[in-house]
Amino acid sequence: MIVNNTVSNMIKVFSRLSDMKLPPIGRLLSWGPLTILSIMSFLTYMVFYFAEMWWVPTESVGGMIHISVYCLMTAGSLYWFFTASFTGPGCVPKGWTPPNDAAFDYLSYCNTCKAYKAPRSLHCKKCGFCVKKLDHHCPWINICVGHDNHLYFAIFLMFTLLGCFQAAIVLTICLYHAINRNWYIHEGQEPVINLSSSSLMLAMFATGLAIGAVVAAVFLLHGQITGFIKNYTEVEGWVLQKAKYRRRAAGLPAFVYPYDLGWRENIKLLLAKDFDGLWWPVRKGCSPKEMMDEQKAQKQDRENRHFVCNVSDEYNGSCVPVTTYTRASLTPPLNLAPRIPLCVGETVRVFIDGPQWLFGVKLTADGKESGRRGYFPRAAVYTDADLDEAQINTTNTHKTKAA
Ligand SMILES: [Zn+2]
Ligand SMILES: [Zn+2]
């Protein structure tokens, strides 16, 4: 039965490959998947290398169980990694329209996909299509995480967490033995782990990598499980958080999230095989429109807070402009949003204001938005604060002169 299910699951995964924008092998040839596969191979090599010295699998049942469990975790991690990547997030079909007329008024139309954007779906520029229940675009599997592969992605994280946790424990114990080798000799014991200085460095690096992977996987998996229980995605989580503050500040009643049906129903929906993820059930008395309206209100708030400024210094679009903007390069934005190069004399509209970096879009001569949005160093433009400061300095200079 289990074998049958696994085989039918594999067939389903491979039958979907033809629908993908990128051929699966092409999708794996990117820095994200290659990094994940390299880390997994490296940690597996190190665990086997140490197991041969510390707990030899062929010499004891315990050693055999230990290495078998590790192999199981790594195989599981690889299987769900490929499944999440090859299955893809699921796209809104071309020409999709909502099932009821009222929804035409509040759903927007995607000109690229030639379809209405289904509730909870968003267009991903990197993937090139509207993703059903978009959680986030994942560089590690090099495709979005959405309705179709959300669960697979979480299972991949779980196996990765368990495998890396085991690797971290094994490597830490072996490293302890290797570092205290002389103490073991002094106590008259045979040292279990013998390492050259370069192997020791490699082992330290592998231990750090395994611990780092455990921390990252715990953090990510916690976010995913919370999202599953409350039925919200990473994107919707941000909207809900902002809704709390926005509505409190505006004196409005608390926002009721329409897609949270209670944890049992939410999990049932997550596991439902026959649900297409396009038209989501909502809480009694709620409508998808409320979520759209809240998102629109937040967008409007953001637009209202924007300001326009002129470029004072050239910026080449570098993520870490050490030589030109040293202070900004020390605190770069920790996300994959693009950076936009700037030339002196250009004008930009700023949407996000930060101490070192601003996020905005360049404007054309007639004040229209052009090109992509992105980050740039605050020091590359004149902001209102700079102009105020210049004004104060000028006034002070005049006062000094007058005195
Ligand atoms: Zn689209
Ligand atoms: Zn994407």
Q: Decide which of 335 and 252 is more confident.
A: 252
Nearest ligand to residue 113 Cα = 1
| Cα–Cα distance, 292 to 282 (Å, whole number) | 13
φ/ψ bin of 276: left (φ > 0), alpha (ψ from -120 to 50), beta (otherwise): alpha
Distance 131 CA to ligand 1 centre (A): 7
Structure tokens at 302: 């953001």
DSSP track, 65-88: HHHHHHHHHHHHHHHHHHHHHHH-
| Cα–Cα distance, 70 to 256 (Å, whole number) | 44
| Cα–Cα distance, 170 to 177 (Å, whole number) | 11
| Active-site residue list | 138
| Cα–Cα distance, 71 to 321 (Å, whole number) | 43
Structure tokens at 102: 């009222």
- Of the candidates 136, 134, 91, 137, the one whose C-alpha atom is nearest the C-alpha of residue 114 is 91
| Cα–Cα distance, 116 to 105 (Å, whole number) | 11
- Of the candidates 167, 141, 170, the one whose C-alpha atom is nearest the C-alpha of residue 156 is 141
Least-confidence region, from 1-15, 163-177, 341-355: 1-15
Per-residue pLDDT tens for 54-111? 888 888 898 899 999 999 999 999 999 999 999 999 999 999 999 988 889 899 999 9
Distance 146 CA to ligand 2 centre (A): 9
Mean pLDDT of the chain: 86
pLDDT at residue 354, as a whole number: 82
The single residue listed with the structure tokens 């930009």 is 348
Distance 122 CA to ligand 2 centre (A): 9
pLDDT at residue 403, as a whole number: 42
Nearest ligand to residue 111 Cα = 1
Contact 57, 51 (CB under 8 A): yes
* Band of pLDDT at residue 10, cut at 50, 70 and 90: low
Indicate the helix (H) or strand (E) that contains 308: strand 307-311
pTM of the model: 0.75
Contact 161, 280 (CB under 8 A): no
pLDDT at residue 19, as a whole number: 44
Question: The sheet that has 307-311: what strands, in order across it?
Answer: 369-377, 357-363, 347-353, 307-311, 381-382
Distance 125 CA to ligand 1 centre (A): 8
Structure tokens at 133: 């229940």
The single residue listed with the structure tokens 């980050």 is 375
Q: What are phi and psi of 92, to 5 degrees?
A: -70, 125
Nearest ligand to residue 116 Cα = 1
Nearest ligand to residue 336 Cα = 2
Structure tokens at 401: 């002169």
Distance 128 CA to ligand 1 centre (A): 7
Distance 80 CA to ligand 2 centre (A): 18
Structure tokens at 397: 């200079």
Q: What are phi and psi of 19, to 5 degrees?
A: -80, -15
Give me the amino acid identity at 25: I
DSSP track, 292-326: HHHHHHHHHHHHHT-EEEEE-S-B---SS-TTT-H
**Three-class SS state of 303:** helix
Per-residue pLDDT tens for 154-190? 999 999 999 999 999 999 988 888 888 777 777 767 6
Percent of the chain past pLDDT 70, that is, above it, reads 88
